[in-house]
A = this chain, B = another copy of it.
């Protein structure tokens, strides 16, 4: 194995625990707070979670450990998309388990939740885990997108647990995975399996967040990686003065990533999907908004700029959503055959023109041909438009070009395009994420040791130095509400969107007009793991603003 110098150096890093977890397992006592309620739909949630609803909030403090000594065998699962720090959750969990009792075991189920169902696992050892400390990726055991949600699956999971003598399962995942962790916890309690379930909040998207979960892990590192690149491109465009860069960043449901990157780099334009939806903005309005910046800047001699776009923005444009729905309807099932047999694009276009409503056709007509074709030619196995494949960065740059042409703009306007997503999901975790994740894992075992079930590992006060962080746990049901999913009412963790009244957006809103017409770029540079604390240890601007720092 060929290790990079940084990887070798990062093996030596000792993640910082919250101050109150630093005195050894024997000195961690528990403090129960008040009973909790779900964020909404309390009656329904309570009915669905009779064994795990309404439990108390937990905080750990320095003091004599009063948990019941018993041997623990813990299973751990990585679920869903990669996020920097996953390996540290596992190593923190492992260290707490082994520090408590060398006979304890940690079992990793491979390839995500399916590993638990298929009993595909490894038993962690010091040697194995040491190769993954403070590194990025989920390759320690792999991840997967299988959803643990049916009773049949739960029954299989219980069998696997029995076979290994598992006393607890830690599920590291996003909102869906933690919802399922909550449901599994209820099942385990209802069936007296003696297996506890603990969740850990992961997602680079940042949309697993509420009054208890200040930040999901991975968001810090991923946004710092994207901000590094956006800053580099800003510096390039301010040096070359030739291009408008349209940069799409990951984040399909929420725009936290785009917003954080904007706060870090101060681009000329950043679209926020939640605002687009709230203001019911049309494609043309958005294009005009960007074109205003292009024109104003050009008039000052600045024929360059940077526009950040959240991955999912087109889905938030109401008229575009309607268009997609109509296209899906137009080509549903058999109807696609007639369309597919038309020989030329011109024939197909005529078919489309005939099939869409006037309103939808107006939207369709302004799209660049490449996007038009993408909508009709690249459909998923069910015949639906694949919205995630739409190159919205190219869509908006083309629309802006059209607007400028229509306005009679004669200046330079040349666009380049980027998409940043996979570049940041497996970066070496920042010191913040390395510390936070290690603490989440360590803390997860404290919840297990004290017998809690259906809790999320919670570490808070994160805008402060790690010494002041607060470790504890929160009942998963507290974050739940009822939402309509696939035609059924389901208890789910409420996804956190960007709040237009929240401080991060308000800060952005107060500055963006200046950023649009001046050049206020900030260059964060690469994530630093060593060096001055103000360079290495600070987490996101979003959290700082939320905490009023």
Q: A422 with B245: in contact, given A235-B139, A239-B142, A344-B346 (CB under 8 Å)?
A: yes
Q: Give A219-240 as 1s and 0s: 1 = Cβ < 8 Å from B's Cβ atoms.
A: 0000001001101110111111
Q: A2 with B520: in contact, given A526-B427, A526-B526, A528-B528 (CB under 8 Å)?
A: yes
Q: Give A401-436 as 1s and 0s: 1 = Cβ < 8 Å from B's Cβ atoms.
A: 000000000000000101100111111100000000
- Interface residue A443 (Cβ < 8 Å from any Cβ of B): no
The distance in angstroms between the C-alpha atoms of A266 and B136, with both chains bound, is 17
Q: A82 with B239: in contact, given A232-B424, A428-B523 (CB under 8 Å)?
A: yes
For chain A, the count of residues having a C-beta within 8 Å of the partner chain is 66
- Interface residue A7 (Cβ < 8 Å from any Cβ of B): yes
The distance in angstroms between the C-alpha atoms of A470 and B129, with both chains bound, is 45
Contacts of A3 in B (CB 8 A): 522
Q: A235 with B137: in contact, given A143-B240, A344-B344 (CB under 8 Å)?
A: yes
Which chain A residues in 184-243 approach chain B with CB under 8 Å? 225, 228-229, 231-233, 235-241
Which chain A residues in 510-535 approach chain B with CB under 8 Å? 520, 522-532, 534-535
Contacts of A7 in B (CB 8 A): 522-523, 525
CB pair A524 B236 closer than 8 Å: no
The distance from the CB of A81 to the nearest CB of chain B, in whole angstroms, is: 8
Contacts of A25 in B (CB 8 A): none
The distance from the CB of A327 to the nearest CB of chain B, in whole angstroms, is: 20
CB pair A526 B238 closer than 8 Å: no
CB pair A236 B428 closer than 8 Å: no
Main secondary structure of the interface of A (DSSP, over half): loop
CB pair B236 A532 closer than 8 Å: no
Q: A535 with B235: in contact, given A346-B344, A526-B228, A528-B528 (CB under 8 Å)?
A: no
Which chain A residues in 1-40 approach chain B with CB under 8 Å? 1-10
CB pair A233 B428 closer than 8 Å: no
- Interface residue A548 (Cβ < 8 Å from any Cβ of B): no
CB pair A232 B422 closer than 8 Å: yes
CB pair A82 B236 closer than 8 Å: yes
CB pair A423 B229 closer than 8 Å: yes
Among A139, A232, A344, chain B packs the most CB atoms within 10 A around the CB of A232
Contacts of A298 in B (CB 8 A): none
The distance in angstroms between the C-alpha atoms of A435 and B3, with both chains bound, is 26
Contacts of A346 in B (CB 8 A): 343-344
The distance from the CB of A179 to the nearest CB of chain B, in whole angstroms, is: 22
The distance from the CB of A420 to the nearest CB of chain B, in whole angstroms, is: 9
CB pair B235 A426 closer than 8 Å: yes
Top 6 nearest A-B pairs (CB, nearest first) are A530-B531, A526-B526, A235-B426, A137-B235, A6-B525, A138-B239
Kindly list 5 other residue pairs between chains A and B, CB separation below 8 angstroms, not including A1-B520, A245-B422: A4-B524, A4-B525, A137-B238, A142-B241, A526-B526
Residues of A within 8 A of B (CB): 1-10, 81-82, 111, 135-139, 142-143, 225, 228-229, 231-233, 235-241, 245, 264, 266, 343-346, 416, 418-419, 422-428, 520, 522-532, 534-536, 538
| Sampled A-B contacts (21; CB under 8 Å) | A1-B520, A5-B532, A5-B538, A6-B524, A6-B525, A7-B522, A7-B523, A7-B525, A136-B235, A137-B239, A139-B239, A232-B422, A232-B426, A233-B423, A233-B426, A236-B425, A237-B422, A245-B422, A344-B346, A526-B529, A531-B531
